[in-house]
């Protein structure tokens, strides 16, 4: 009973909370969005602020977090892939997603090596590792060493900074 509470507390990315009104961004209004380009982007926060919805900007660029159990993808179990909602970088396959009970989408491995960057995060009295998109440097969440085999990792991500693309023709579970 105490474990789910501790997991939820360990996932919290910041002291601020963001309600999820929508996930992702309108790619037609974002000239940097591409699901195939992996070129590193150098875009100012001022430019991102013009392009991204406020809720996405707050999490991605200001390192806020959405409320636990509120995110669009925390219960999703359809076959497909998850991309960075800011730049379109491929992040996770749905086959790496698992129900961790922490209230945020959790994955045990990235889609490819180099898709994400990792930085020590000692904010809010915690010792954890921040996960950012390797293409656009947007905050995605944190990684912990309490995930399932084969990696033992739990990538605890904010739904609002993820775009999900279902596999074409795959039946919904």
Q: Point out the residues that are catalytic.
A: 156
Residue 18: closest CA among 161, 123, 152: 161
Q: Is the omega angle on the peptide bond into residue 150 within 30 degrees of 0, that is, cis?
A: yes
- Contacting residues for 169 by C-beta, under 8 A, at least 6 apart: none
| CA distances from residue 164 to 17, 45, 156 in whole angstroms, order as listed | 22, 24, 16
d(CA 26, CA 104): 22
């Amino acid at each position: 009973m105490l474990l789910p509470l501790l997991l939820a507390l360990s996932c919290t990315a910041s002291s601020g909370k963001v309600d999820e009104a929508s996930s992702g961004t309108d790619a037609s209004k974002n000239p940097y969005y591409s699901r195939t380009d992996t070129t590193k982007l150098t875009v100012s926060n001022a430019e991102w602020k013009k392009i991204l919805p406020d809720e996405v900007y707050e999490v991605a660029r200001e390192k806020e977090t959405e409320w636990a159990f509120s995110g669009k993808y925390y219960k999703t179990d359809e076959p497909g892939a998850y991309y960075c909602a800011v730049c379109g970088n491929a992040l996770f396959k749905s086959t790496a997603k698992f129900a961790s009970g922490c209230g945020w989408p959790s994955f045990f491995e990235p889609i490819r090596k180099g898709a994400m960057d990792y930085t020590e995060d000692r904010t809010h009295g915690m010792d954890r590792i921040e996960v950012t998109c390797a293409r656009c440097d947007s905050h995605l969440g944190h990684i912990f060493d309490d995930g399932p085999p084969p990696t033992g990792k739990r990538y605890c991500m904010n739904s609002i900074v993820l775009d999900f693309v279902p596999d074409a023709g795959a039946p919904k579970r």
